[in-house]
Every structure is written in C-alpha cells, then in structure tokens.
Structure 1
C-alpha cells in the first residue's frame, strides 16, 4: 500500500509520533476519522488503544479497503471500524457533523490542502487534527503554511519533524547490532524513505485547552 513494511513490523513506523498517538488514544474521542487509511495501521491501531472510539476510515484504493477490513476483523474490532472510499468535502463534513469534537488523522498526498478547510468544513474548528504535510518539493509546496494560517485563531499548532533513524531506535536485540554488516541492515530495515524536510502538524483546538485547565 505504498508504505514501508519492516518499520511497521518492528514497531518503529513514524516513531516521531508514538508519544503523541499514545496521548491521543487516551483522550476517549467518540469518533476518530482516518483519511488515507491504507491498510489500517492507524485506523485499527486507534481502535485498539481507544476502545470507546468508533473509527471511520477513508481509503481510495480498493486493495487498501480490502486489507483494512481484513486487519480490523483479525484484531476483533470490525464492529467499530467503518470503511469508505474516497473522502471529499461533502462526506468529510457529513462525517464530522454530529460530533462536538473528534480526532482527524490524515495522510492524503497533498489533498490535505482541500480537506483541511474550516471555511468549507466548520466542524474542523473543534477537531483535533494530526496531518502528514506534503509540501516538500516533489509534491506540492507551502501546504503547511496554508494549513497553519487557516487554524491559527482556533488551534495550538505543533510541528513534528522527521528525524533520521539510528540504531538506538531499533527494538530489543536489534539495537545491539552496531557493527558491520548488521548495523547497515538494521538501519535499512528502519528506513521509511522520507525526506528530512517532511513533517507532521498536530492541531489542538483552544476549547480543549480551556476544558483541561478547568478540571
């Protein structure tokens, strides 16, 4: 499905987000919407760490939807993971309409500039959003600045940069293989083929900050 397999099997995939994802899973969202869900790494993952959440996963490719449904069944969460095809502004707004606050996870290869528009989808002003930004040179430029500008008055904005993988990121015994040729093999297994200019944005609505401070 276009993403690297070994890091997912090793548990190091998008390691930059691990702590943030864990914290989001503990917030008990009623609904989590995963746009660009691929085979379900995040859709099924969030259903496991947030058992009170219902998951709606949008995936354009039929093979991805097939794998996603199979993964949800294998993990016993098919009753809480709904799978749909392409996400556009209309069905995105419909998915968010009934919820006061939801979590949106998005990886759509540049289409985030279309979907993450609070003027077109006003409910986004109350949503938590975790988005992989695709404004590095070979996709589209300056999407990140556009998104930050759109949410500047409603959200705190955290930028999470890609970090270069090191042997220390490897799990268990693999991190002890710091000698040739094993070190090269370990680093190759951890490699997600991302440019270091890539990053994620986490958008946290101001209302949730006020709610937390009042507790």
Structure 2
C-alpha cells in the first residue's frame, strides 16, 4: 500500500473521529438539557431558560447549563466594576451572553448583534422565555458603525463581547476603537485561521493600544466533581460535556480603558 493511500486513510479516520466526537457531545448535551429542563442551573446565568430551538452551539449546551462554558470570559465579565451595567454582544448566536447578562442582574440592558436571521429569531424566542424582551435590543450584522445604534451613555458604560469568527480583524480598526474607548471589550481571537494571522494580530493590538490596557485570557481547567448531575457519567462523557470542541487552545483579549 502506497504512502499516499495510507495518509489518506489516516486523514479519513481522523475526520470520522472528529464527527463522532461532535455527535456524542451533541447527544450528551441533549440528555443534560432534558435533565435540567433546558435551564442553566449553576453560575451567574443560573435560571436562564433555553428554547428547544437553536441556531448555534447546541453541542455546547451541556457546558452552558452547568455554567462552565467559557468560564474564563464569564468570570472576567462578572468581575467588572458596577458602573459597567450595559452589555453589548457582537456575534450573539443563540443569546447565551446577551440574555444571560440580564438574568445575572449585573446588567440593566443588553444589545445583541447577530448576522443570522435564524439566530435573531432564536434570540427573540429565548428573550421571551426569560421575560426580558423589554431590556434586550436585537440587531443584524455589526458593522463599523454599529455603535450608532446605542445611546452614548450606554456605550460609555458598556461591556462589549466580540465573537465573530475572524471578522474581528476587519472590523476593529483605530477609528472604531476610538469610538469605543470608554467601554470594556472582550475579543475572542481567531488569528489561527489566517495565513497572515500574526500580522493581523499585530495590527489589531497596535490599533487598540492607544486607547486600552490589554490583557490576555486562555482556556483553563474545569472542576467537574461538584456537579451531582454528572456523578453517574463515565469519565470520558463528563469531559466531553465540558469540552467546547475547540480546534486549538482558545484565547481572548480583554481591553480596559486607559485611565481607569
């Protein structure tokens, strides 16, 4: 058997394994959703209800229900000063953060930007389920002037979460950072999907540096021993529930306004 065929078979096996793992994560999340009645039980978003409909991240639902999904970002968001009481979510998906931020009662109003029509429909369903439609404003794609949809007083007291699958590099230029300079900004980074990712990161950091103090967050450990719902799961299944299915170690930027 030639080397090319061997490598092709190995690649097919790897892809097949990845698909199988994704399906198992989805099944485990569905099972835990039934157990917890589609309601987050732990963490600052505890009490948030998901509709059965979804657009994004149904395989992440188990981790969300346990309050451990992106817990590094979640904990950092919840640690901001009280004066930051507005939440802005760019790439809001199903509304986990934009609605959860309201459920936490740390934020008084939330703005969700989601490019997908289906995503916006799911966000609205989830907002209705959680009785917070009057505090949530839903918009489409976040452009370079998205901030014009938001009152200045809200923008200046906002936490902004940006998770737009690589589009952060084309969106966040020096002019936009200047208009957001009083907000705290969290950015999920996707530099690794670009051949010139290092160049894009250098440019993004250069654009942000005059206005913000910059720190980095990365995925850390999870303690699954505290969840009785998982006691009877096999070790591998517990960790699949905790997994976020990332292709590499994920990292984020936290940008804090200079002078604060």
Change (3 A) 1:123 1:15: same
Aligned: 1:151 with 2:203: no
Q: CA RMSD in A?
A: 2.4
TM-score scaled by structure 2?
A: 0.69
Question: Cα–Cα, structure 1 residues 81 and 170, in superposed 2: closer, same or farther, change >3 Å?
Answer: farther
Query: What is the TM-score when the length of structure 1 is the normalising length?
Result: 0.82
Counterpart residue number, 2:97: 42
Whole-Å separation in 2 of the counterparts to 1:131 and 1:187: 25
Task: Indicate whether 1:14 and 2:70 are aligned.
Answer: yes
* Structure 2: distance between partners of 1:160 and 1:120: 22
* Structure 2, gaps ≥5 residues long: 1-54
What is the correspondence of 1:185-196 to structure 2 with a 5 Å cutoff?
Answer: 185-196=237-248
**Bigger Cα displacement from structure 2, 9-18 vs 127-136:** 9-18
Change (3 A) 1:52 1:189: closer
Bigger mean CA deviation after superposition, 58-67 or 139-148: 139-148
Structure (1 or 2) with the larger CA radius of gyration: 2
> Aligned partners of 2:192, 2:257: CA distance in 1, in Å?
26
Superposed CA deviations along residues 154-207 of structure 1, whole A, max 9, x for unmatched, are 2111100123x55x2454225656xxx710110111111113332111100013
Q: 1:93 to 1:11 in 2, by over 3 A?
A: closer
Structure 1 unaligned residues grouped into runs of 5+:
210-215
Most deviating of 13-22 and 94-103: 94-103
Does the 8 Å CA contact 1:28/1:53 hold for their aligned counterparts?
A: no
Q: Secondary structure at the match of 2:188?
A: strand
Matched positions, count? 201
Q: Secondary structure at the match of 2:152?
A: coil
Alignment CA distance shift 1:139-1:74 (3 Å): farther
Q: Which moved further from structure 2: 27-36 or 64-73?
A: 27-36
Residue number in structure 1 paired with 2:49: none
